[in-house]
Structure 1
Amino acid sequence: MGQWTVDWESVMKSNVSYLGAWLAAVALALALALAAPNDASVMGRLPSFMSQTLARQTMAVPEGLPADRTLALITFQRGQGAQVESWIQGLNLQNDPSIAWVRMSVRNDPGTPTARDAFENRMLQHHPADAERAKLMPVFTDSARFVRAAGLNGTDQVYAVVVNRQGEVLARVQGEFDPAKAQTLRETLQAHVF
């Protein structure tokens, strides 16, 4: 019978090497987990501001949004109304009370009350129905800052975003209504946080 000899020093060095590699991997995983952005920072955060709907109802955004999860339809330019209407019709928002929603018309602040009033008066003429006016709020701000904060891609598209009362953008789609995009929004609107 042959004799087996064990080089305990090599075994110990090998075990220490494996343990060191394992600890290094765990430390790297923890560091990446702590450094990784959370969902809110990835999606964006709606800036805080005071506004007034065209029905003259004052609203503190995001704290005063109508629900814990609210659909916000956001426009930036003239001519984007058809895209917003595609979302209103596609999601049947006028007839579906299960979805809390607002429509935000974000514009660069013209700097004077007279210019703001002129814009609001044009909107009032364009949206005569009380139901429309109750959902529509002009937002006078720095549009570029609003876009950056909310995690949007620019001002050339309409955005449909789900936002909570902390301002966190939980879901975001852009462009015209699309059933697949709508499903994403519905799932986020209906999700419950435990």
Structure 2
Amino acid sequence: MKKIVLFLLVIFSCSSNKSLDKLSDNERTMFYIDIDIRSETNHPIFMAGLMKNLDFRKISKNDDDSFIKTFYKVADFTPDFLVYDDVVNQCQKLNEMKSGQHLMTLISNKSREIRIVLKNGSNVFINITEVTGSFLECNKDIIEIPSLSNNINANELEEINKLTLPVHITWLKKPKRKLIEGVMNQIGSMVN
């Protein structure tokens, strides 16, 4: 059994850098943003989202709370991959592969990290991955979003209106350095 699982993981990992299917009208490219906020006064906070365009100009650098709230004004919420399968199944019966853990590994291997320091001293580590594929969009009001102890409860954040989840990835890649430099320039002019 272990050999079969390992074989399938190797095949999927090798093919994840190539287009698996012809792009269809449903497929698009988005940026998966993984946020890790560390401070001396709070426990670590891990959140994630998807953005159509990397635009960080409207995100506050004041503190953890305002950073998260303003982030979700410009990005769609994506639940932690540890609860991904449950959320997909609640939104729509699409995810029979139980692929949340596998997606987490693939995406984290293709990301670029930037770090910023908020005015309150918190360190924010932002990992960005360019994802092409099909995405499931779901209104937040129709499901109960599971929360982990290291997340801010998405059900309680007014700024989160919908969830967007990758359900079929045809391409993953690290964003170009020039794109990341543009994000760093935007962060330099972020809202205070």
TM-score between both structures, scaled by the size of structure 2: 0.26
Structure richer in strand, relative to its length: 2
Kindly name which structure, 1 or 2, has the bigger radius of gyration based on alpha carbons. 1
Between structures 1 and 2, the one with greater helix share: 1
